[in-house]
């Protein structure tokens, strides 16, 4: 999830952290920017089906691309986000978009992501 506290985006990050840290099958950690934290985040992405990309990250944040390269479906929590190369990349085919009001409802994200709809839509053949 990146840095938990960031200006206006930090509000949603902190709320998401509080909601998700107690959820079953959710791994969410608060950390500082360091080489070791980055390595652990990369390992986490490689072993996850979904990777949270909350408001507060810049649209070009490497975390979004790290998730895609790790075959981890980005869950973009934002009301207004412009992503790089939107004119050529259909992000709706490779990411899940959730508005902030819905995302901060307890159990909303985990329930939504557990639905078969996303498992089918984002099936990856090895």
State the pLDDT confidence band at 31, using cuts at 50, 70 and 90: low
Domain with 98 in it:
9-121
**Other C-beta atoms within 10 Å of 29: how many?**
12
Whole-model pTM over 0.85: no
Average of per-residue pLDDT across 41-58: 81
pLDDT digits (tens, 9 = 90+) for 9-21: 457 888 898 999 8
Domain count within the chain: 1
Q: In what order do the strands lie in the sheet with 96-98?
A: 50-54, 73-77, 96-98
Whether residue 126 is contained in a domain is answered as no
Q: Which residue has the tokens 């895609």?
A: 68
Q: What's the CATH code of the domain at 53?
A: 3.40.50
Mean pLDDT of the residues in the chain: 79
């Amino acid at each position: 999830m990146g840095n938990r506290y960031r200006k206006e985006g930090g509000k949603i990050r902190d709320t998401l952290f509080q909601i998700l840290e107690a959820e079953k099958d959710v791994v969410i950690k608060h950390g500082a920017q360091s080489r070791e934290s980055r390595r652990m985040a990369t390992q986490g992405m490689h072993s996850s089906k979904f990777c949270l990309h909350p408001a507060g990250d810049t649209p070009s944040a490497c975390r979004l691309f790290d998730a895609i390269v790790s075959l981890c479906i980005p869950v973009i929590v934002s009301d207004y986000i412009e992503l790089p190369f939107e004119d050529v990349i259909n992000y709706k085919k490779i990411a899940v978009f959730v508005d902030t009001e819905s995302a901060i409802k307890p159990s909303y994200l985990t329930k939504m992501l557990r639905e078969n709809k996303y498992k089918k839509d984002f099936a990856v053949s090895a």
